[in-house]
Amino acid sequence: MNASEMSNSAFGDSMRILDVRTPAEYETARIPNSHNIPLADLNRHAERLAEADGTRLLVVCQSGGRARQAAAVLDEHGHRDAVVLEGGLNAWRASGHDVEQGEPKWTLERQVRLTAGAIVATSIAASLWVPKARFLAGAVGGGLVFAAVTDTCAMGNLLSRLPYNRGSRADIDAAAHRLAA
């Protein structure tokens, strides 16, 4: 679904917004009336969401990749009415739609860039003393190429599990309950 064709008022009672970004990203900026269940926790709640007959889900992330993965998870569990917001929150914001702002925190994509850059810089510097350390930089580069080609990110999945990026279980359970209601 294209952000420029949408508005919050177009959803009605039968559509809910599922934001699959990390809680830290969600707290920073979110679509009004959205509910946060991070992609890493979605399997745990997918069946409950699939049982909500007649409820359409608009699945959102930062740029679209995680939302597509989430829609596939929901589809595997029988939820056939999940629609991905193409371009994610970035496209929503660019289309001029309302965004609720919270306390700024680093997005998962920014954390991945920092981590990958730090590993590459450190391994290149270390290769002055330990020549084989340069292979770590090559492995990170290969991982980034793979992430781009497959539109997945193993490093992002790992970073999303850090305490900084986690929300409380109570918040996630409450969001799942509201989405399935």
Question: Does 3-105+166-180 carry CATH code 3.40.250.10?
Answer: yes
Q: Where in the chain is the domain with CATH 3.40.250.10?
A: 3-105+166-180
- Bridge partners of 101? 29
Rounded CA separation 179/71 (Å) = 14
Rounded CA separation 141/103 (Å) = 32
Give the C-alpha distances (Å, rounded to integers) separating 140 from 110, 119, 124, 131, 151: 16, 8, 12, 16, 16
pLDDT tens, per residue, the chain with 181 residues: 777 676 654 555 568 899 999 988 998 999 999 999 999 889 888 888 877 766 788 999 999 999 999 999 999 988 888 899 999 999 999 999 999 998 888 888 899 999 999 999 999 999 999 999 999 999 999 999 998 898 888 898 899 888 888 766 657 778 877 877 7
